[in-house]
Amino acid sequence: MGGGGIVIECFRKEVPTRKYALKSPRLSVLNTDATQKALNREENERAAKLSHENVVLLISSANISVDAGSPIWAQLMEWVDGAEDLATFIYKNGETPSHLISLFCGALSGLEYIHSQGLIHWDIKTANCLVSKHGVVKIADIGNARDEMGLDKKNEKDEIAYRECPSN
Amino acid sequence: MHIENAPQTERFLKNISAGSQSRRIPVELKEGEKTYDRPWFDLYMFGRTIGRIFGFEDETSEERNRLRKCFLDKVLSPDNVDAPIAKQFFKLIVDRLILSIEIEESKRYYRDAQEVMDDLRKLLNQFGDAHDVKELYPFSRRVIRIPVTRNTECSARIEKLIDCGPVKRLKKHRQLALTYHVYPGVRHVRHEHTLGIVGKTLDYVRALYADKSSVYFRILMDSMHVRALIFAAAVHDVGHGAFGHYLEECEALFTKCSHEDYIQAVLRRKQALYGATIPKEVLKNDRKALLKCAQVWMEDLRSRKRLRVDRFLKLVADILKPPKILNPLQSLNLLTHEDTELALRYILSSIIDSTIDADKLDYLKRDAHHGGLDYAWATDNDRFFQSLTTVLSPPKKSEEKAGDVNTLEPQLPEAENYPTVAVTTKGVEPVECLLVARYQMFRAMYWHKKARAATAVLLQMVFRYFQLHIAKEGVGKVLEYREILLSEFRQRDDDGSIIWLRDELLKLTNLNVEQEGVVKLAMAILERQDLPIRICETSYSRCAPKDRERYQRILELHLWLHRREITDYCWNWSRILLKTMQSIHEKIDSPTNESPQDLYSEIFLDVPLDRSSDKVRNLYVVAGEGDAAHVEPFDTYSVMGKAITDAFGIWAKQLRVFASPELAKIINKQGKSTEEVNALVFDSVYSAYTEVFEEYNKKMLGKKA
């Protein structure tokens, strides 16, 4: 459960072995006014753009009814099997510096991908870097992501593809 | 979509209304600050996350603190020899990520997550990012066998480099020029040394990647830097022609014409960096050949790091002559790319040119081997490489450490504060051996009196070449003549250069009698026939205390002389020769013949110049391990640094005067003792220098008036 919502494990009746994560905002932040709807839509649009092995995949989103109560807006996401947050996983399973590097690189690879899509995650923390029981890192919770500001990154990189020594 | 998840519904709703305790890292942001919507912000947050994992920040609870401690004890345990390096490595990356918030965005080290990944992966391989530089792996099947270094790596691209035009040219030039007159074995060529230094540079890189005391080399260097370093090692002597170092001794005639200036002009494609006008074709061909080689060296660089070939050559030029640090007293940090690029260039440069560089490590043993000397063989290379490390911020001279002149504390030299290769305490003895070996090699071989006699003759011929040209065609074309000489010396082999110079002098001189003299001089160098004979030899230590001041004065005036413009130098130098000769003749009651033949083939002066390369500088020792490691000047651990610097100035450097065999015979007939002749000639040299200095000053004052 994160600061902005909770995540629960679920599955389709027809394929009970395939699990999904259902994520919804907490009731305290849940409302149905226009602003929140717009925000939800934005988050969906952002998350829907992302497809990378190190980023949690958004499958769908909808208002769902739970036990005949009011509909709650939720996202259906890829389930990260045996997920633990990055720090906890490392504390329990970290063996060697090279093992740590492969985990960090997994997270950074996800970040690099998110940035390449013009997004800034804005909420990177250990709980948003999930590690599956197979050791694959997935960046989760794109809810706070914002569009990148500033120059077009690609152009900038081309211009300074090589870092020159300044004094010459 | 309808989700059926009945078993968990109750818990789901309960959780929704419960709230949570976040482990989010608190960050204070300035309101309305748009630059936070940039990738660096995620990287900053990621840095804080991994910083917390490694204990650089507090954990959120006692339980997590306990978990973290167990993890750190396991992964970075003190028993693990790699742990201190890994800790330094992660600390530097975290610092670069976190402290970047203090730095302007354009200057921050990491621009994107890919760069952080690239740096992290540098810890994974034996040779970090340079794991694709195949030359670093031992037991290559492709070697070239040379003395001393024996099987020396010679991959296809090294072969291409050492066979390219400018490097191949070094096959024509003997490494020790005229020293073979004394040590017949030292006829090895610069090209052999080039192969040797490439081999030694590879050893340096291997040793620095195996370094367990400092992470700087591993984290700073990319594959491209290591390639550029090998390239720089192979081309560092390209600017040398015949008698390279010996001509460079005559600073006044060859200002800005050193071999370093030449290679800088070629690599940077800036002719102005070289004092002489390089013929366009030569510059173009040399550059073209090096560009072709650079292309081969960059072929398998991963595309991300592919850069233009000319930029690669510029990097090579930076390694051979790093850009100046604008404020040397300010330590470089590795948080900005500017400082990082400067630091890595200085470290790479120190592998090629420093007190403990690969150049010395190769040439001392190689020259000793060919000369049949044992002095350089004591250097314990294995121990040296085992102790090799890097220093980013050498200690600044503090008042406490500098000591007081009235106490017995050693006077430490002014720290130059440049990043450099250094040794751990284990390397102190091998470095001492290296310093002593260099000193002994200079005394026994490089500055041997016979070799110096031949060199003095050569320099006299070169001086006459300039003087005659100036007399004939004025000073206007002096740069042209200088370049012709340098160019001929570069293209011809050593003996061919002497013959060319002899022929040029014969063309320039009108008097038959002087032409005979020129031929005699050339024969003295080529065949060791009638080589001038030493009539005076003294050093600061050998001078009588009353003469030491005069000795120092001669050295000062000699340095002053070399700071003059070419015409003034030529005028003053010929006056010094003339006055020395007149004074000697006066003192031995022999008539002076002031014909050019006598003037330029009777007396040969060899006055040492004060050179910074003779000083032990920017040399440091890393003491302690892990967090307790600290950098100390070499002088804190050994007296040899200061002692060798003094030894060069006081004992090794000799002021020598040589006379033609005829004049030497006349002097001998006087029946004076060697000491008396020595004193007599020394007096003559001193009075010549001082009189000419006064004459020149008067002349200048007269001009001003």
Q: Based on the domain organization, do B460 and B604 belong to the same domain?
A: yes
Chain centroid to CA B101: 37
Structure tokens at B154: 């010679």
B75·A100 Cβ contact <8 A: yes
Q: Please give the interface size between A and B, counted as residue pairs whose CB atoms are below 8 Å apart.
A: 203
Tell me the chain B residues in contact with residue A152 when contact means C-beta distances shorter than 8 Å.
Answer: none
Backbone angles phi, psi at B141, to 5 degrees: -85, -15
A88·B70 Cβ contact <8 A: no
Closest CA to A48 of A40, A39, A38, A58: A58
Q: Based on the domain organization, do B137 and B92 belong to the same domain?
A: no
Tell me the chain B residues in contact with residue A129 when contact means C-beta distances shorter than 8 Å.
Answer: 49
Contact B202, B246 (CB under 8 A): no
B121·A101 Cβ contact <8 A: yes
B668 CB-near residues (< 8 Å, 6+ apart) = none
Q: At A51, which CATH number?
A: 1.10.510.10
Closest CA to B262 of B294, B233, B230, B237: B237
DSSP B324: P
- Assess whether pLDDT exceeds 80 at residue B371: yes
Answer with the residue of higher pLDDT: B13 or A138: A138
Question: Up-side HSE of residue B69: CA atoms within 13 Å toward CB?
Answer: 7
Q: Based on the domain organization, do B59 and B170 belong to the same domain?
A: no
Average pLDDT of B324-352? 86
The reported pLDDT for the residue numbered A81 is: 86
- Assess whether pLDDT exceeds 80 at residue A67: no
Model confidence at A160, in pLDDT bands (50, 70, 90)?
very low
For residue A168, what is the nearest residue in chain B, using CA coordinates?
B323
Average pLDDT of A95-124? 93
Domain boundaries, position B237: 132-353
Model confidence at B175, in pLDDT bands (50, 70, 90)?
very high
The reported pLDDT for the residue numbered B278 is: 73
Please tell me if residue B8 touches chain A, with a CB cutoff of 8 Å.
Answer: yes
User: Which position has the token pair 């390209």?
Assistant: B238
Average pLDDT of B272-286? 82
Model confidence at A152, in pLDDT bands (50, 70, 90)?
very low
d(CA B525, CA A88): 78
Model confidence at A40, in pLDDT bands (50, 70, 90)?
low
Instruction: Pick the range with the lowest mean pLDDT from B117-121, B299-303, B678-682.
Output: B299-303
d(CA A80, CA A1): 14
Question: Up-side HSE of residue B197: CA atoms within 13 Å toward CB?
Answer: 28
Of B9, B35, B68, the CB nearest to A67: B9
Q: Give the pairing of strands A19-25 and A72-78.
A: antiparallel
User: Which position has the token pair 């206007």?
Assistant: B476
Tell me the chain B residues in contact with residue A27 when contact means C-beta distances shorter than 8 Å.
Answer: 16-17
Instruction: Render the burial of A47-72: b for 16+ CB within 10 Å, e for the rest.
Output: beebebebbbbbeebeebebeeeeeb
Of A62, A111, A126, the CB nearest to B1: A62
Tell me the chain A residues in contact with residue B121 when contact means C-beta distances shorter than 8 Å.
Answer: 101, 105
The reported pLDDT for the residue numbered B186 is: 96
Of B124, B308, B325, the CB nearest to A101: B124
3 state SS of A151? coil
Tell me the chain A residues in contact with residue B225 when contact means C-beta distances shorter than 8 Å.
Answer: none
SS (HEC) of B255-317: CCCCHHHHHHHHHHCCHHHCCCCCCHHHHHHHHHHHHHHHHHHHCCCCHHHCCCHHHHHHHHH
Instruction: Calculate the dihedral angle through the C-alpha atoms of B694, B695, B698, B702, rounding to the nearest 10 degrees.
Output: -170
CA distance, residue A86 to nearest chain B CA (Å): 9
CA distance, residue A5 to nearest chain B CA (Å): 7
Residue-wise DSSP of A22-77:
EEEE-TTT---SHHHHHHHHHHHHHHHT--BTTBPPEEEEEEE-STTS--EEEEEE
B75·A94 Cβ contact <8 A: yes
A91·B45 Cβ contact <8 A: no
For residue A97, tell me if it sits in a domain.
yes
Tell me the chain A residues in contact with residue B339 when contact means C-beta distances shorter than 8 Å.
Answer: none
pTM: 0.90
Name the percent of chain B lying above pLDDT 70: 90
For residue A166, tell me if it sits in a domain.
no
- Assess whether pLDDT exceeds 50 at residue B133: yes
Of B37, B111, B337, the CB nearest to A120: B37
Please tell me if residue B14 touches chain A, with a CB cutoff of 8 Å.
Answer: no
The radius of gyration computed from the CA coordinates of chain A, to the nearest angstrom, equals: 19
Of B71, B323, B341, the CB nearest to A94: B71
The reported pLDDT for the residue numbered B686 is: 97
Q: Give the pairing of strands B620-623 and B420-424.
A: parallel
Task: Say whether A67 is catalytic.
Answer: no
DSSP B387: T
Tell me the chain B residues in contact with residue A19 when contact means C-beta distances shorter than 8 Å.
Answer: none
Answer with the residue of higher pLDDT: B643 or B402: B643
Model confidence at B110, in pLDDT bands (50, 70, 90)?
very high
d(CA B598, CA B100): 71
Q: Based on the domain organization, do B166 and B315 belong to the same domain?
A: yes
For residue B642, tell me if it sits in a domain.
no
Q: Which residues, numbered 79 to 98 in chain B, qualify as contacts with chain A under a Cβ-Cβ cut-off of 8 Å?
A: 82, 86, 89-90
Number of domains into which chain A is organized = 1
CA distance, residue A156 to nearest chain B CA (Å): 10
For residue B12, what is the nearest residue in chain A, using CA coordinates?
A8
Model confidence at B24, in pLDDT bands (50, 70, 90)?
low
Answer with the residue of higher pLDDT: A5 or A126: A126
Q: How many helices (H) and strands (E) does chain B have?
A: 30, 9
The reported pLDDT for the residue numbered B682 is: 96
Average pLDDT of B195-221? 95
The reported pLDDT for the residue numbered B7 is: 35
CA distance, residue B6 to nearest chain A CA (Å): 8
Q: Based on the domain organization, do B551 and B684 belong to the same domain?
A: yes
Please tell me if residue B141 touches chain A, with a CB cutoff of 8 Å.
Answer: no
d(CA B603, CA B595): 13
Of B20, B43, B325, the CB nearest to A2: B20
- Best probe of the B interface among A18, A61, A73, A91, by most B CBs < 10 A, is A91
A124·B45 Cβ contact <8 A: yes
For residue B474, tell me if it sits in a domain.
yes
> Which of A30-39, B234-243, B265-274 is the most confident on average?
B234-243
DSSP A148: P
B314·A168 Cβ contact <8 A: yes
Across all residues in chain B, what is the average pLDDT?
A: 87
Model confidence at B409, in pLDDT bands (50, 70, 90)?
very low
A9·B121 Cβ contact <8 A: no
Looking at B79, B95, B121, the residue that finishes a domain is B121
Q: Based on the domain organization, do B93 and B147 belong to the same domain?
A: no
B22·A97 Cβ contact <8 A: no
Tell me the chain B residues in contact with residue A22 when contact means C-beta distances shorter than 8 Å.
Answer: 3, 5, 12
ipTM of the complex: 0.85
Residues B385, B222, A153: CA angle, nearest 5 degrees? 160
For residue A165, tell me if it sits in a domain.
no
- Assess whether pLDDT exceeds 50 at residue B413: no
d(CA B226, CA B229): 5
Domain boundaries, position A71: 5-159
- Assess whether pLDDT exceeds 60 at residue A1: no
For residue B6, tell me if it sits in a domain.
no
Q: Based on the domain organization, do B159 and B268 belong to the same domain?
A: yes
The reported pLDDT for the residue numbered A39 is: 63
- Assess whether pLDDT exceeds 60 at residue B216: yes
Average pLDDT of B94-105? 86
B117·A105 Cβ contact <8 A: yes
Q: Based on the domain organization, do B314 and B215 belong to the same domain?
A: yes
d(CA B207, CA B387): 8
B23·A86 Cβ contact <8 A: no
- Determine the length of chain B: 705
For residue B68, what is the nearest residue in chain A, using CA coordinates?
A91
Please tell me if residue B66 touches chain A, with a CB cutoff of 8 Å.
Answer: no
Tell me the chain B residues in contact with residue A114 when contact means C-beta distances shorter than 8 Å.
Answer: 42
Edge-to-edge strand ranges of the sheet holding A137-139: A84-85, A129-131, A137-139
For residue B29, tell me if it sits in a domain.
no
- Assess whether pLDDT exceeds 90 at residue A41: no
3 state SS of A131? strand
For residue B78, tell me if it sits in a domain.
yes
B67·A92 Cβ contact <8 A: yes
d(CA A153, CA A151): 6
Contact B652, B539 (CB under 8 A): yes
Closest CA to B204 of B348, B385, B424: B385
Tell me the chain B residues in contact with residue A109 when contact means C-beta distances shorter than 8 Å.
Answer: 113, 117
Instruction: Pick the range with the lowest mean pLDDT from A111-120, B177-186, B296-305, B430-439.
Output: B296-305
Contact B253, B462 (CB under 8 A): yes
Tell me the chain B residues in contact with residue A87 when contact means C-beta distances shorter than 8 Å.
Answer: 49, 52-53, 59, 64, 68
Closest CA to B101 of B60, B24, B32, B46: B46
- DSSP-assigned beta bridge partners for residue B178: none
**Type of residue numbered B258:** S
For residue B45, tell me if it sits in a domain.
yes
Model confidence at B402, in pLDDT bands (50, 70, 90)?
very low
The one catalytic residue in A33, A85, A123, A152 is A123
Backbone angles phi, psi at B423, to 5 degrees: -125, 160
Of B3, B46, B325, the CB nearest to A124: B46
- Assess whether pLDDT exceeds 80 at residue B668: yes
Instruction: Pick the range with the lowest mean pLDDT from A53-67, B54-68, B70-84, B538-552.
Output: A53-67
For residue A51, tell me if it sits in a domain.
yes
Looking at B353, B385, B414, the residue that finishes a domain is B353
Looking at B327, B353, B379, the residue that finishes a domain is B353
A26·B17 Cβ contact <8 A: yes
Please tell me if residue B63 touches chain A, with a CB cutoff of 8 Å.
Answer: no
Q: Based on the domain organization, do B147 and B117 belong to the same domain?
A: no
Residue-wise DSSP of B219-242:
HH--HHHHHHHHHHHHHTTTT--T
- Best probe of the A interface among B117, B319, B336, by most A CBs < 10 A, is B117
For residue A124, what is the nearest residue in chain B, using CA coordinates?
B45
Q: Based on the domain organization, do B304 and B226 belong to the same domain?
A: yes
Query: What are the respective helix, strand and coil percentages of chain A, to the nearest 5?
Result: 30, 25, 45
d(CA B417, CA B397): 9
Of B50, B67, B82, the CB nearest to A91: B67
For residue A68, tell me if it sits in a domain.
yes
- Assess whether pLDDT exceeds 90 at residue B690: yes
Model confidence at B639, in pLDDT bands (50, 70, 90)?
very high
The reported pLDDT for the residue numbered B20 is: 43
d(CA B619, CA B412): 11
Number of domains into which chain B is organized = 3
Residues B41, B43, B47: CA angle, nearest 5 degrees? 115
Q: Based on the domain organization, do B473 and B494 belong to the same domain?
A: yes
Average pLDDT of A90-111? 94
For residue A167, tell me if it sits in a domain.
no
For residue A25, tell me if it sits in a domain.
yes
Answer with the residue of higher pLDDT: B328 or A83: A83
User: Which position has the token pair 């302690």?
Assistant: B624
Q: Which helix (H) or strand (E) holds B468?
A: helix B449-473
Q: Based on the domain organization, do B520 and B480 belong to the same domain?
A: yes
Tell me the chain A residues in contact with residue B36 when contact means C-beta distances shorter than 8 Å.
Answer: 120
The reported pLDDT for the residue numbered B16 is: 40
For B503-544, the pLDDT digits (tens) are 999 999 877 777 788 888 898 888 888 899 999 999 999 998
3 state SS of B649? helix
Instruction: Pick the range with the lowest mean pLDDT from A41-45, B291-295, B481-485, B650-654.
Output: A41-45
Of A91, A127, A153, the CB nearest to B23: A127
For residue B419, tell me if it sits in a domain.
no
